[in-house]
């Protein structure tokens, strides 16, 4: 176990709810309310202690917070509402504790606060519900550590230097090939304990780079489960003293960037003849909407999508069988069975999964019905940054 492991794992496992008064077990619930702030990327949270047992989402009340401290409001009109939308177990506090993912709204309870795009995704998913859109998101990330006030560098990389070149790290094992496994392991176990749909983990191509997969999720679950998984990952990072970095290209040069490859299917693509739907219907639509998709596929993605390091070019839409250098990869299993899913490899690690899932469904299933609303909302968000 690496030297960041012992403290983190002990902190996560030593707390025992049984040390509390047994009479409180069914009378008190720690509810961690989680939301996305005005950056559209960072997450905030605070704790509400209920004097009752919280068993379902409807048990959770709307709450509020200081939006002026979260880049979402001014000081003279600072109150932002929290609307509970997703509930799961809190794997860090364990018993009688829940995580409550929330949408954010202004005082009228109708106007979404800056950084809230879930409402758009929910409309899209409802309109396309007959196609039962499924998603599997592959979240890549780097582990960074801080030393003093100026040094900020990937975990276990030489100070102000570089490790061996890429080639030995992907799915690697051993102290010279695999950096920070304990963080990824703790995160996977915490997600499973929370009840999230996590499908796996692996070390990635660059040293100190990891990936986990969330799925299969259906519809709005895609964004809900993914955002909560990110929150848990950041909380795990606190325990180990490492930063979770979702920058698409955190280390310039001959090192892989980080993406959030999005695997996608519908009833039509999963049915017999589904490959024809992908090739003749969905992909041509995605080609025409290439630029609009890239607008909401992550900040600073141009530093990652260069046509190198297993990426496609920003300039042109492409697809290919098993091609990790294309915009879209057609898996060999889909080709063999003539139905299934495809992988959109363009999304960056720092995407909002609500936006990406909504764009994919809207373009392929709904023929762009909501595209202006999705793109317009994001462009308005960017102008206010």
Give 1's pLDDT tier (boundaries 50, 70, 90): very low
Q: Tell me how far apart the alpha carbons of residues 242 and 237 are, in angstroms, rounded to a whole number.
A: 5
Q: Is residue 4 scored above 90 in pLDDT?
A: no
The verdict on residue 2 lying in a domain is no
As a whole number, the mean pLDDT across the chain is 93
Q: Is residue 15 scored above 50 in pLDDT?
A: no
- Give the angle 48-227-4 at the CA atoms, nearest 5°: 85
Question: How many Cα atoms occupy the beta-carbon half-sphere of 116 within 13 Å?
Answer: 27
Q: Is residue 57 scored above 60 in pLDDT?
A: yes
Percent of the chain clearing pLDDT 70 (strictly above) = 93
Model pLDDT, residue 259? 98
Q: How many CB atoms lie within 10 A of CB 92?
A: 20
The reply to whether 210 and 231 lie within a common domain is yes
The verdict on residue 11 lying in a domain is no
The reply to whether 105 and 131 lie within a common domain is no
Q: Is residue 241 scored above 70 in pLDDT?
A: yes
Q: Is residue 72 scored above 60 in pLDDT?
A: yes
The reply to whether 110 and 140 lie within a common domain is no
Is the distance from CB of 350 to CB of 343 less than 8 angstroms? no
Q: Is residue 54 scored above 60 in pLDDT?
A: yes
The reply to whether 29 and 160 lie within a common domain is no
Name the residue range of residue 200's domain: 126-383
Is the distance from CB of 364 to CB of 285 less than 8 angstroms? yes
Determine the 3-state secondary structure of 156 from DSSP: coil
What is the CATH number for 284?
3.30.590.10
Model pLDDT, residue 150? 76
The reply to whether 349 and 371 lie within a common domain is yes
Q: Tell me how far apart the alpha carbons of residues 315 and 306 are, in angstroms, rounded to a whole number.
A: 9
- Give the angle 128-130-136 at the CA atoms, nearest 5°: 70
Model pLDDT, residue 13? 47
- Its pTM stands at 0.94
Q: Tell me how far apart the alpha carbons of residues 191 and 185 are, in angstroms, rounded to a whole number.
A: 10
Q: Which residues contact 335 (CB under 8 A, 6 or more apart)?
A: 275, 321
Is the distance from CB of 343 to CB of 262 less than 8 angstroms? yes
Model pLDDT, residue 17? 46
Scan for tokens 């919280």, then name that residue.
54
Question: How many Cα atoms occupy the beta-carbon half-sphere of 384 within 13 Å?
Answer: 16
The verdict on residue 219 lying in a domain is yes
The verdict on residue 7 lying in a domain is no
The reply to whether 153 and 57 lie within a common domain is no
Encode 102-115: b = buried (16+ Cβ within 10 Å), e = exposed: bbbbbeeeeebbbb
End-to-end CA distance of the chain: 42
pLDDT tens figures, 106-128: 999 999 999 999 999 999 999 99
Average pLDDT over residues 270-294: 98
Which element (helix H / strand E) includes 44? strand 43-50
Average pLDDT over residues 291-297: 98
Q: Tell me how far apart the alpha carbons of residues 260 and 212 are, in angstroms, rounded to a whole number.
A: 10
Q: How many CB atoms lie within 10 A of CB 4?
A: 20
Model pLDDT, residue 19? 53
What is the CATH number for 78?
3.10.20.70
Plot region of 266 (φ>0 → left; ψ -120 to 50 → alpha; else → beta): beta
Give 95's pLDDT tier (boundaries 50, 70, 90): confident
Q: Supply the angle between the helices 221-240 and 118-127 in degrees, to the nearest 10.
A: 140
The reply to whether 172 and 237 lie within a common domain is yes
The reply to whether 253 and 370 lie within a common domain is yes
The reply to whether 100 and 148 lie within a common domain is no
58, 81, 116: which is the final residue of a domain? 116
Helix runs in 195-337, H state only: 221-240, 267-270, 274-277, 283-288, 290-295, 332-337
Domain count, the chain: 2
Model pLDDT, residue 161? 83
Q: Is residue 6 scored above 50 in pLDDT?
A: no
Is the distance from CB of 155 to CB of 194 less than 8 angstroms? no
Q: Is residue 12 scored above 60 in pLDDT?
A: no
Model pLDDT, residue 375? 97
Q: Is residue 92 scored above 90 in pLDDT?
A: yes
What are 9's two structure tokens? 């794992």
Average pLDDT over residues 322-345: 96
116, 137, 167: which is the final residue of a domain? 116
Give 156's pLDDT tier (boundaries 50, 70, 90): very high
Q: Which of 51, 110, 54, 60 is nearest to 85 (CA)?
A: 60
Q: Is residue 60 scored above 50 in pLDDT?
A: yes
Model pLDDT, residue 23? 66
Model pLDDT, residue 20? 54
DSSP 47-114: EEEESS---SGGGSPPEEEEGGGTTSSBTTB-EEEEEEEEEEE-TTT-TTEEEEEEEEE-TTSSSBPT
DSSP 227-257: HHHHHHHHHHHHHHT-EEE--SSSS-SSS--
The reply to whether 156 and 39 lie within a common domain is no
Q: Check residue 354 and report its DSSP letter.
A: H
Q: How many CB atoms lie within 10 A of CB 132?
A: 14
């Amino acid at each position: 176990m690496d030297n960041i492991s012992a403290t983190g794992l002990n902190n996560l496992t030593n707390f025992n709810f049984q040390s509390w008064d047994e009479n409180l077990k069914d009378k008190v619930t720690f509810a961690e309310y989680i939301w996305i702030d005005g950056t559209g990327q960072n997450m905030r949270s605070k704790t509400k202690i209920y004097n009752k047992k919280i068993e379902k989402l409807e048990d959770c009340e709307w709450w509020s917070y200081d939006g002026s401290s979260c880049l979402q409001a001014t000081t003279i009109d600072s109150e932002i509402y929290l609307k509970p939308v997703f509930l799961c177990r809190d794997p860090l506090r364990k018993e009688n504790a829940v995580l409550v993912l929330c949408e954010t709204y202004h005082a009228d309870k109708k106007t979404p606060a800056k950084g809230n795009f879930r409402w758009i995704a929910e409309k899209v998913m409802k309109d396309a519900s007959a196609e039962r859109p499924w998603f599997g998101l592959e979240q890549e990330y780097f582990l960074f550590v801080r030393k003093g006030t100026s040094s900020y560098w990937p975990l276990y990389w030489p100070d102000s230097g570089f490790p061996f070149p890429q080639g030995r790290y992907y799915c690697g094992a051993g102290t010279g090939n695999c950096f920070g496994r304990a963080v990824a392991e703790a995160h996977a176990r915490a997600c499973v304990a929370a009840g999230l749909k996590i499908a796996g983990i692996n070390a990635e191509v660059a040293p100190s780079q990891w990936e986990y997969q969330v799925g299969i999720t259906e519809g709005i679950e895609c964004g809900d489960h993914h955002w909560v998984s990110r929150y848990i990952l950041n909380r795990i990072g606190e325990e180990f003293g490492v930063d979770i970095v979702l920058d698409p290209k955190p280390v310039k040069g001959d090192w892989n960037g980080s993406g959030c490859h999005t695997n996608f299917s519908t009833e039509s693509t999963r049915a017999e003849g589904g490959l024809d739907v992908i090739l003749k219907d969905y992909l041509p639509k995605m080609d025409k909407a290439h630029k609009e998709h890239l607008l909401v596929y992550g900040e600073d993605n141009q530093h990652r999508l260069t046509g190198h390091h297993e990426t496609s070019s920003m300039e042109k839409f492409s697809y290919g069988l098993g091609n990790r250098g294309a915009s879209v990869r057609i898996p060999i299993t889909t080709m063999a069975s003539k139905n299934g899913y495809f992988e959109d490899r363009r999304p960056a690690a720092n995407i909002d999964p609500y936006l990406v899932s909504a764009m994919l469904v809207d373009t392929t299933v709904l023929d762009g019905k909501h595209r202006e609303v999705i793109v317009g909302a994001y462009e308005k968000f960017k102008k206010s940054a």
